[in-house]
Amino acid sequence: MSTVESLNEIRRELPAGVALVAVSKTHPPEAVMELYTGAGQRAFGESRPQELKAKYEALPKDIEWHMIGNLQTNKVKYIAPFVKLIHSVDSDKLLAVIDREAKKNGRTIDVLLEVHVAGEESKIGWEEQELAEYLKTEAHKAYGNVSIRGLMAIASLTEDAGQQEREFKRVRFLFDELKEFTGPLFDTLSLGMTSDYRVAVRCGSTMVRIGSLIFGERDYSKV
């Protein structure tokens, strides 16, 4: 199946209101262009700031670039001028740097806060309690150039769909609970990738991030 056919098949399956980010990391700009022209896809996701910047520079400017991977503070400057949504904000420190870089570029950057719900194999993201306390202090309101649009999470890598479902449901619950402290723009819940997007959608995801199911396996040796 071509990437265009795979993408269209996923689109047909997703309920209205669930956005699809095509995760193009490790794939060349031509692969992005195929979906851009062949399927009208505009939202693409990348994990590495330099790769994201290089693709931004090489490709049409109406593409919406999503930063979905772990982001170091010293790399924010590469993507701040154009990034559409940063999914992976895991600390107040990173939020402060994004705010500063957004201001330098005269714009507001939309972000999601990444919640840690998977098992012990991963440590990335806010603990649920810690995040709730942070938002309730309203400390984030000091950042005039970031807009916190919602939450993102990665479920445990497991064959146990029941466990993934419990993890996703916890994030959905937290998302609904935190709306009160974040306002009406808090409307995005980024949950689900190739192996678990169906579970994620059942649990209330509003945005899925899908790579391999569209583009095939990644070859990291080519990057």
Ligand X SMILES: *Cc1c(COP(=O)(O)O)cnc(C)c1O
Task: Give kind and range of the element (H or E) at residue 220.
Answer: none
Do residues 80 and 96 lie in contact, with contact meaning Cβ atoms separated by under 8 Å? no
68 binds ligand X, rule: CB under 6 A: yes
71 binds ligand X, rule: CB under 6 A: no
Shortest Cβ 108–ligand X spacing (Å): 23
27 binds ligand X, rule: CB under 6 A: no
**Token pair recorded at residue 213:** 């199911």
Which residue, judged by CB position, is nearest to ligand X in the bound state? 211
Q: Which residue has the tokens 């942070």?
A: 134
Interaction with ligand X in 116-175: which residues (CB under 6 A)? 154
Listing DSSP states for 16-85 in one string gives TT-EEEEE-TTS-HHHHHHHHHHH---EEEES-HHHHHHHHHHS-TT-EEEE-S---GGGHHHHTTT-SE
Shortest Cβ 146–ligand X spacing (Å): 19
211 binds ligand X, rule: CB under 6 A: yes
Instruction: Map residue 159 onto helix, strand or coil.
Output: coil
113 binds ligand X, rule: CB under 6 A: no
- For the chain, give the number of residues: 223
111 binds ligand X, rule: CB under 6 A: no
Among 3, 6, 41, 47, binds ligand X (CB under 6 A): 47
52 binds ligand X, rule: CB under 6 A: no
**Contact footprint for ligand X (CB under 6 A):** 23, 25, 47, 68-69, 154, 193-195, 209-213
